[in-house]
Structure 1
Amino acid sequence: MSRLQNKVCIITGAASGMGESEAIAFAEQGAKLIIADLNLEQANQVAEKIINTGGEAFAFQVDVTQFDQLQQLVEFTLEKFGRIDVLLNNAGIFDKYTNSLDTTDELWDTMFAINVKAVFHLSNLVLPKMIEQGSGAIINIASIAGLVAQMGGASYTASKHAVIGYTKHLAAVYAKHGIKINAICPGTIRTPMTAKMLETRPTDKIPLDRFGEASEVAELAIFLASDEARFMNGSCITIDGGYTII
């Protein structure tokens, strides 16, 4: 049997990059998908890919900074499937390594609105249903920037540290309801958005001497969403080729 057979999964930021890879990989494992993204056209394309290969998926346009749209997303999911088994908070933005003195209030607020507040709001919207079911999984895409600082941007680094702290809080409080909450901390991952930037970026600081692939992050997310990870709770798992160990 497929590892996620009939599990209903919401994935935000699922129209491209890691989110798209996660959605397609989840569908291949039997999950029923809600492809949530601001870009409805691309979200529909991802949903069509899944449907054309025998899967089940619906696209939903959402601005994750708007609470009422997140409410509508959850209502739409329950209308279509009647339950929510997995929430994968994948949507996020990057501050292009902007240091603290160059970080404006607007950049800081936008970074936290998308990377942190949206995770808080959407988690709170799905938790009551998961508590009612007595089961569920929440997976938050953090970053190695949530574990170390180095030269990463100020607002991005702070936001990803916040995601990890919030993940640990959720895991401590809601595990008793049969809900497991974990975070994934990717290093540098090759996606269509990062491909050009990575053409000239060295890999010598990564022990595996290469960048990660979106499909590899998706495989880890499948494990955390599956029953195989039933004793995983409050973990923040790095997937960075060993970058943070040196």
Structure 2
Amino acid sequence: MKDKVVIITGAASGIGEATALLFGREGAKVVVSDINSEVGEEVVKRIKKSGGTASFFKADVASAAENKALVDFAVKNYGKLDIAVNNAGIGGEANKIGDMSLEGWHRVIDINLHSIFYGMKYQIAAMLKNGQGSIINISSILGSVGFEGSAGYVAAKHAAVGLTRNAAIEYSSQNIRINAVGPAFIDTPLLDQLDEDIKKHLISLHPIGRLGRSNEVAELILWLGSDKASFATGAYYPIDGGYLAR
């Protein structure tokens, strides 16, 4: 990772934060991006404190213009873009399809799906100039199966996998690898709003007997971004404690 330039969205907490810290420790130049400036700047400070190189750029991934500005920032500050981790996302409105609001549907699709298209559109353009690159799109186990009350999330995460595969077909011959990661339920701030009974139920769905940890997902993302994964492209990698094996 030495001197590799990486963009990570949703990098102020959870999987994004763990990934940013890991890439920083491994020598990458990390552009930490999030809508939460205060927390995002703290992640940058932690990377620098450990001897790494990082900067923060506030961006709303649901905006095409802000995705472009994020890529432009990385290239202007570090000269190129080698790796992009499209991680930002939300759980979205929890309702059955017939009860879901139109606003709730559009919001989760904007943030969890349109953001990946916008991100790749500008990331790929920068990587083509660089002659190589690796993009990792964060999907979910729900990019493979359904989950009651999460229609928007499930639809977006399924679509993210399809979009990843299509992009890989289009650009792998130009030395840009594109993969998707499918975490199961990870113990992040996103789950803090759940009561203990629901958390226990979620744990029971994982044969390994616990929720995942952000750093475990970060290690897979790091591998996919590295040259060690040079033949890995167009694939969907669940990291799920056995969830999908049932």
Indicate the TM-score class for this superposition, using the shorter chain for normalisation. Answer: over 0.9
| Cα distance, 1:196 vs structure 2 | 5.5
Q: 1:170 — aligned with what?
A: 167
Please name the residue that 1:70 is paired with: 67
TM-score w.r.t. the length of structure 1 is 0.95
Name the aligned partner's letter for residue 209 of structure 1: G
1:104 and 2:101 aligned: yes
For residues 205 and 129 of structure 1, what CA distance do their matches in structure 2 show? 40
Unaligned runs of 5+ in 1: none
Q: Aligned partners of 1:140, 1:89: CA distance in 2, in Å?
A: 5
2:230 counterpart residue number: 230
Asked whether the 8 Å contact 2:187–2:211 carries over to 1, the reply is yes
SS, match of residue 120 in structure 1: helix
Q: How does 1:29-40 map to 2 (within 5 A)?
A: 29-40=26-37
Q: Gaps (5+ residues) in structure 2? A: none
Deviations 1:4-35 (A, max 9, x none): 11110000000111110110011111111000
- Check if 1:189 corresponds to 2:158: no
Kindly indicate whether the alpha-carbon contact (under 8 Å) linking 1:36 and 1:60 is maintained by their aligned counterparts in 2.
yes
Q: What is residue 243 of structure 1 aligned with on the other side? A: 243
1:71-90 matches, cutoff 5 A: 71-90=68-87
Q: 1:193 to 1:153 in 2, by over 3 A?
A: closer
1:197-208 equivalences under 5 Å are 197=194, 199-200=196-197, 201-202=199-200, 203-208=203-208
One-letter code aligned to 1:215: N
AA partner of residue 224 (structure 1): L
What RMSD over aligned residues (CA atoms) do the two structures have, in Å? 1.3
Moved over 4 A (4+): none
Mapped partners of 2:241, 2:192: distance in 1: 17
- TM-score for the superposition, normalised by structure 2: 0.95
The 3-state SS of whatever aligns with 2:135 is: strand
Say whether the 8 Å CA contact 2:9–2:85 is kept in structure 1. Answer: yes
Residue 160 of structure 1 corresponds to 157
CA distance in 1, matches of 2:105, 2:148: 17
How far apart are the structure 1 equivalents of 2:137 and 2:162? 11
Query: What does 1:52-71 correspond to in 2, within 5 Å?
Result: 52-71=49-68
In 2: Cα distance, 1:179 partner to 1:188 partner: 29
Count of matched residue positions in the alignment of Structure 1 and Structure 2: 243
Task: Name which of 162, 176, 180 aligns with 1:179.
Answer: 176
- Tell me how far apart the structure 2 counterparts of residues 130 and 192 of structure 1 sit (CA, whole Å): 32
In structure 2, how many angstroms separate the alpha carbons of the residues matched to 1:60 and 1:105?
30
Query: C-alpha distance in 1, partners of 2:36/2:121?
Result: 24
CA shift at 1:38, angstroms?
0.5
> Match of 2:111?
114
Moved more, 148-157 or 177-186: 148-157
Report how far residue 83 of structure 1 moved: 0.4
Paired-residue identity, %? 39
Where 1:59 maps in the other structure, the secondary structure is strand
**Whole-angstrom distance in 2 between the partners of 1:141 and 1:42:** 21
